[in-house]
C-alpha cells in the first residue's frame, strides 16, 4: 500500500496523522510525497474556519481532477477529522471519497485502510517531524458559541499516564522535544482523578532526556504544579505558554461562552506566571469581528495585548460555523472591519516580538534543530526561530548556544 497523508488544522490533528503513518508503515506500506503516486489518500480535516473546510474540498477535487486528466480513476480517499464529523453531504459527493471517519477514530481509519485494528493501539515511535507530538487527551467539555470542535470531537477523554509514559519513552529515542497536545489539554485528568501538572511531573521524572512543550492551555488552568515546571529553567519544560485570549472585552467573552475567565483574571494569571521571568514565550489566539464586538470592545482587546508580554498572537477574523450558537447572535461585524482590527493586533504583536528578540541577544538558549535539509534552523526553548552555526548541526540535534544578532534575526553560536 502506498498512502498519501495530508493534515489540515491543529497539532492534535498532526498527531493523529502521525498515528496513521505509523499504522501504514507497520503494515509494510509506504507513505508517498504526492497524491498521484498513492493507492489511497488520507486527509485529516479541520472545521475551525470555513476556509479550512474549503481548502480540504479543493484538495480532494484537485486530486480527482488530476487523475481524470491522466486517464485514471480518482484515487480512493479517506477523510478523517473534525470536518468529516460534521459533513453536510458535500464531501461524500466528491469523486474518490470512499469513507468519512469522524474525529480521530483511529480504529475506524484502520478498518477503512484494511489494516488490523490492533495497529491503531500500538504506541508510536519515530515520527516524521523533528519534534514529536503526543496527544494526551481528546474532546472538550466547554461550549464556546463560535466553536465547532466540541460538536465534532465530543467530551474530554484523557489517556492514562501509564500509556503516555510508554509512548513518550519510545518517542524520546528519536526526538529531542515532545509536544503535549490535545483539544483541551488543561482539562487533562479530570476524568481520571489527576491533573495536567501531575502528568507533566510524571513525564519529566520518567523520560529524562527530552524537552517537553505544551500546546494551547487556558491561562487560568495553569495550576501550581504546572507553574513550577514553567519556572524551572526551561531545559525540561519549555517556558512557553499559548493561552487563548479570544477577546479582551468581558462583554464579548460572555457572548462567546468563555465563562471561566474575564479579562482581569486572564491578566492576573499571566502576570503571576511570568513574574520576574525574562525568558518566556507568551502566545495566544484572538478572534476579531465577533458578533456584537464594538469599537470599544476592540480597543479593550488592543489595550490588554499591549499590556501583556506577548511574543506571538494568532489573530482570526470571525468565521461563522454551521450549527454553532454564535450563528444565532445578532450584531454582525462587516468583514472589512474584522480584517482591519485583525491587522492592527498583528502589528502590535509584531513590534512586541521584535523587541523581545532583541532583548535575547547575548543570552544563552537551548536549541533544537528542525526543518529539512539545508533549510533547517533552530528552535529555542522560548520558541524563537534562529539561524544555525556552520557547519550546520543535523536535524534533530539539541545543543546549548549563545544568541547573536544576525542580518535576518538571530543566530545560535555553539558554546
Same domain? For 339 and 378 the reply is no
Residue 151 located in a structural domain: yes
pLDDT digits (tens, 9 = 90+) for 88-100: 899 999 999 999 9
Residue 194 located in a structural domain: yes
Residue 332 located in a structural domain: yes
Same domain? For 374 and 347 the reply is no
Q: Are 125 and 117 in contact (CB under 8 A)?
A: no
**Residue 229, pLDDT score:** 94
Same domain? For 109 and 152 the reply is no
Same domain? For 141 and 216 the reply is yes
Residue 295 located in a structural domain: yes
Residue 127 located in a structural domain: no
pLDDT digits (tens, 9 = 90+) for 68-88: 999 999 999 999 999 998 888
The one-character DSSP state at 174 is T
Band (pLDDT 50/70/90 cuts) for residue 286 is very high
Same domain? For 272 and 292 the reply is yes
pLDDT digits (tens, 9 = 90+) for 307-333: 999 999 999 999 998 889 999 999 999
The C-alpha cell at 275 is: 513574574
pLDDT digits (tens, 9 = 90+) for 227-267: 999 988 778 999 999 999 999 999 999 999 999 999 999 99
Domains contained in the chain, number = 3
For residue 162, the Cα-to-chain-centroid distance in whole angstroms is 23
pLDDT digits (tens, 9 = 90+) for 359-369: 999 999 999 99
Residue 350 located in a structural domain: yes
Q: Are 285 and 216 in contact (CB under 8 A)?
A: yes
Residue 8 pLDDT greater than 90, yes or no:
yes
DSSP string across 86-125 = T--STGGGSTTEEEEEEBT-HHHHHHHHT--GGGGGSPP-
Query: What CATH number is given to the structural domain containing 83?
Result: 3.40.50.12160
Same domain? For 266 and 409 the reply is no
Band (pLDDT 50/70/90 cuts) for residue 22 is very high
End position of a domain, from candidates 102, 121, 140: 121
**Residue 216, pLDDT score:** 94
What does the chain come to in residues?
A: 415
Residue 123 pLDDT greater than 80, yes or no:
no
Same domain? For 337 and 400 the reply is no
Q: Spell out a b/e string for 197-219, using b for 16 or more CB atoms within 10 Å of the CB, else e.
A: bbbbbbbbeebeebbbbbbbbbb
Same domain? For 50 and 171 the reply is no
Q: Are 196 and 156 in contact (CB under 8 A)?
A: no
Same domain? For 14 and 152 the reply is no
Q: Which of 287, 305, 314, 301 is nearest to 248 (CA)?
A: 301
Residue span of the structural domain in which 238 resides: 132-359
Same domain? For 22 and 167 the reply is no
Residue 30 located in a structural domain: yes
**Higher-confidence position of 313 and 373:** 313
**Residue 153, pLDDT score:** 85
Query: What CATH number is given to the structural domain containing 259?
Result: 3.80.30.20
DSSP string across 196-264 = HHHHHHHHHHH-TTSEEEE----GGG--HHHHHHHTS-SSSB-SEEE---B-S-HHHHHHHT-TT--HH
Residue 348 located in a structural domain: yes
For residue 216, the Cα-to-chain-centroid distance in whole angstroms is 7
Amino acid at each position: 500500500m502506498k498512502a498519501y497523508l495530508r493534515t489540515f488544522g491543529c497539532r492534535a490533528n498532526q498527531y493523529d496523522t502521525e498515528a496513521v503513518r505509523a499504522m501504514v508503515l507497520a503494515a509494510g506500506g509506504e507513505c508517498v510525497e504526492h497524491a498521484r503516486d498513492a493507492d489511497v489518500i488520507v486527509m485529516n480535516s479541520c472545521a475551525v474556519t470555513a476556509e479550512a473546510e474549503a481548502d480540504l474540498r479543493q484538495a480532494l477535487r484537485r486530486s480527482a481532477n488530476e487523475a481524470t486528466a491522466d486517464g485514471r480513476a480518482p484515487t480512493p480517499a479517506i477523510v478523517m477529522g473534525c470536518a468529516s464529523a460534521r459533513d453536510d453531504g458535500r464531501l461524500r459527493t466528491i469523486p474518490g471519497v470512499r469513507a468519512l471517519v469522524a474525529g480521530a477514530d483511529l480504529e475506524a481509519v484502520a478498518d477503512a485502510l484494511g489494516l488490523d485494528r490492533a495497529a491503531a493501539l500500538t504506541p508510536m515511535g519515530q515520527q516524521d517531524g523533528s519534534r514529536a507530538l503526543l496527544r494526551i487527551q481528546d474532546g472538550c467539555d466547554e461550549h464556546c458559541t463560535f466553536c465547532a470542535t466540541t460538536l465534532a470531537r465530543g467530551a474530554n477523554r484523557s489517556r492514562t499516564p501509564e500509556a503516555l509514559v510508554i509512548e513518550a519513552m519510545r518517542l524520546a529515542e528519536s526526538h529531542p522535544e515532545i509536544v503535549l497536545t490535545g483539544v483541551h489539554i488543561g482539562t487533562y485528568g479530570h476524568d481520571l482523578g489527576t491533573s495536567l501538572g501531575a502528568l507533566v511531573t510524571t513525564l519529566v521524572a520518567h523520560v529524562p532526556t527530552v524537552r517537553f512543550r505544551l500546546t494551547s492551555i487556558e491561562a487560568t488552568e495553569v495550576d501550581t504544579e504546572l507553574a513550577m515546571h514553567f519556572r524551572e529553567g526551561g531545559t525540561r519544560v519549555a517556558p512557553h505558554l499559548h493561552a487563548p485570549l479570544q477577546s479582551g472585552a468581558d462583554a464579548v467573552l460572555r457572548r462567546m461562552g468563555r465563562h471561566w475567565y474575564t479579562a482581569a483574571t486572564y491578566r492576573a494569571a499571566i502576570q503571576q506566571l511570568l513574574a520576574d521571568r525574562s525568558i518566556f514565550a507568551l502566545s495566544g489566539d484572538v478572534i476579531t469581528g465577533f458578533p456584537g464586538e464594538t469599537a470599544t470592545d476592540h480597543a479593550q482587546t488592543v489595550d490588554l495585548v499591549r499590556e501583556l508580554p506577548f511574543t506571538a498572537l494568532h489573530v482570526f477574523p470571525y468565521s461563522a460555523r454551521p450549527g454553532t450558537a454564535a450563528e444565532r447572535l445578532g450584531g454582525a461585524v462587516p468583514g472589512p472591519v474584522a480584517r482591519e482590527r485583525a491587522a492592527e493586533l498583528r502589528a502590535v504583536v509584531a513590534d512586541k516580538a521584535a523587541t523581545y528578540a532583541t532583548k535575547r541577544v547575548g543570552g544563552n538558549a537551548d536549541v533544537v534543530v528542525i526543518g529539512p535539509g539545508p533549510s533547517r534552523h533552530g528552535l529555542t526553548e522560548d520558541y524563537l526561530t534562529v539561524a544555525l552555526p556552520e557547519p550546520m548541526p543535523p536535524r534533530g540535534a539539541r545543543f546549548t548556544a549563545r544568541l547573536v544578532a544576525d542580518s535576518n534575526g538571530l543566530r545560535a553560536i555553539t558554546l
